Amino acid sequence: MSTNVVVVGGGIAGILSALMLKDKFPNVILIENSSELGGLLKSDNYGNEHWFDKGTHLPALTHHQEINKYLIPDEINDSNLWLKLTHLKPGNYFNKKLNSLGSAIDITSYDEEYYHKILIELLHSRLESRSQYENSYEQIRDLFGEALTNNFFEKISFKFFGTALKDLAPDVLKLIINPRIIAFDENKTKELKKSNFFDMRLSLSTPSINKDVEYFYPKKGGIHEWISLLENKMNNNGIRILKGAKISGIHVDKNEITKLTLEDCEEITGISHVVWTAPVSLLAGRYNLVENRSLKGVRRTTYLFHLLLDKPFLTDRHYITCYDFEMKTFRVTIYNNFQKNDKYKCTVEVLDDDNVVIDEKKIIQELVTMGIISENTKVVESYAYKLGSYFPVITPEMLEINGDIIDAITNEISNITLAQRDSNQFFMADVLANVFKYVGKIK
Ligand SMILES: Cc1cc2nc3c(=O)[nH]c(=O)nc-3n(C[C@H](O)[C@H](O)[C@H](O)COP(=O)(O)OP(=O)(O)OC[C@H]3O[C@@H](n4cnc5c(N)ncnc54)[C@H](O)[C@@H]3O)c2cc1C
């Protein structure tokens, strides 16, 4: 009987896993439960030539040439079809001002008295190693002091995660905010950053460019074009791709997964190994592979507003994060600032509770208030919808439960590799480095 190596999850982690495994094993099967591959790297189109992305927009070529070998097909090097960017242009809206230079918040925009109060607290702060902290509150307070923590970071935590900093595991804020601040002019900051104490806390207004990283994006279409190229590559390599395939049962015999049953009744047998890139909690919950410990309220819902406008944007930023607590906007991606188009396109992401109604007019008004579009800009077309509850609210409890599930699976099942986006890896480059490390060990 032929043996099958099965990859579960057709996001970028599953795609990398499948391509790597195909170098070693003749029969590789990729199982994706939705109708399209890509996971968070998908795009929307509404019957015209205008594409908008759902999650990640501008992926980076990693430092890792081995990973690039699998994930960067030759087509991406064709400069007629693909853009290459040496750096991203982030911006942010903070304290009623649009910072068009970088991603860090600029506390010099506070009034003098408050600015000095923060500086004094910062100078008296001290930071332990991450393992010393039980939650994000303690960690951020030790970095920046109480005033900035209580009056800014705590409110940001409620805006984006719907919960207090003390409920978040350490390091979680990094998912949505640059954890360094602008507090001095460039020369002074450069000087101060020579010490580790200030380097951990301070940011230059204009971040330095990392020459090792390059970003790519299609000249036409959305980021799904990349996934289409990878899907072709997998098909050409003989990887069997099952889309819309729902796993209804995972069968274990003598500590090994031997069979997967799909809802359409197909059975995948002769399994030598499974690489799991879907959420690990499913293994304990839906598939009862190990004892279930439920994880409640740990995801934030993403709402998308894809907007086609009639006038140019007022900023050259690729994306802008909104740190105003009264506003709904999380991040605005401005396609025209990296992709040529005769219409003006942006996507506004909102992170909120599930099932809230967000008025599109409010979102447009926020773009005006932030100085991203002019007041007389008209919406030509708009598409708004709830993407789903993907954004992790990583609590200490979630880390513990995830850790328990991972330990239990690793102890009980000998032919599974867990290479999922989990509490320790969120950004694509980190997820891929993790996959490369673990999938590379499978023999
Ligand atoms: C709103 C948002 C914005 C983000 N922005 C950025 C960014 O700007 N930069 C960045 O680097 N990272 C960003 N990320 C993170 C980035 O998207 C992830 O690192 C990357 O998508 C992880 O890929 P993945 O394959 O592990 O997971 P996913 O993309 O989530 O893919 C998992 C796949 O598994 C499938 N699946 C789930 N359950 C099952 C099952 N039971 N059976 C079969 N298949 C299953 C899913 O349908 C999905 O296709 C963002 C994430 C979110 C949520």
The structure tokens listed for 127 are 């930071």
CB atoms near residue 261 (< 10 Å):
16
Q: What is the pLDDT of residue 396?
A: 87
CB 304 within 8 A of CB 37: no
Residues present in the chain in total = 443
Angle at 227 between CA 283 and CA 438, to 5 degrees: 45
- What is the Å distance from ligand 1's center to 299 Cα? 13
* Nearest atom of ligand 1 to the alpha carbon of 282: 41
In the sheet that 214-218 helps form, which strands lie side by side, from edge to edge? 60-61, 214-218, 82-85
Q: What is the value of pTM for the model shown?
A: 0.93
Which amino acid residue places its CA nearest to atom 20 of ligand 1? 428
DSSP codes of every residue in 5-56: EEEE--BHHHHHHHHHHHTT-S-EEEEESSSSSBTT--EEE-SSS-EEESS-
Instruction: Give me the sign of the Cα torsion angle 289, 290, 294, 299.
Output: negative
- Ligand 1 site residues (CB inside 6 A) read 8-14, 31-34, 39-41, 55-56, 247, 277-278, 282, 302, 349, 390-391, 421, 426-428, 431
CB 289 within 8 A of CB 252: yes
The structure tokens listed for 64 are 């890792």
Which CATH architecture best describes the domain 4-81+219-290+395-439?
Answer: 3-Layer(bba) Sandwich (3.50)
Confidence label for 60 from pLDDT (cuts 50, 70 and 90):
confident
CATH number of this structure's domain 299-392, picked from the four choices 3.30.70, 1.10.1740, 3.40.50, 2.30.30: 3.30.70
- What is the Å distance from ligand 1's center to 40 Cα? 4
Mutate which of 20, 56, 178, 301 to test ligand 1's pocket (most atoms within 8 Å of Cβ)? 56
- Residue 350's identity, in one-letter code, is V
| Residue with token string 């070998």 | 69
Which amino acid residue places its CA nearest to atom 8 of ligand 1? 56
Q: Domain ranges for the chain, please list them.
A: 4-81+219-290+395-439, 104-199, 299-392
Mutate which of 40, 57, 350 to test ligand 1's pocket (most atoms within 8 Å of Cβ)? 40
Tens-place pLDDT, residues 161-217: 999 999 999 989 888 898 899 999 999 999 999 999 999 999 998 877 777 788 999
Q: How many helical (H) and strand (E) elements, i.e. helices and strands, does the chain have?
A: 13, 22
DSSP state of 175: G
Check pLDDT > 60 for residue 89. yes
Which amino acid residue places its CA nearest to atom 38 of ligand 1? 278
Mean pLDDT of 147-156: 97
- What is the Å distance from ligand 1's center to 319 Cα? 19
| Residue with token string 């170098």 | 23
Q: What is the pLDDT of residue 139?
A: 93
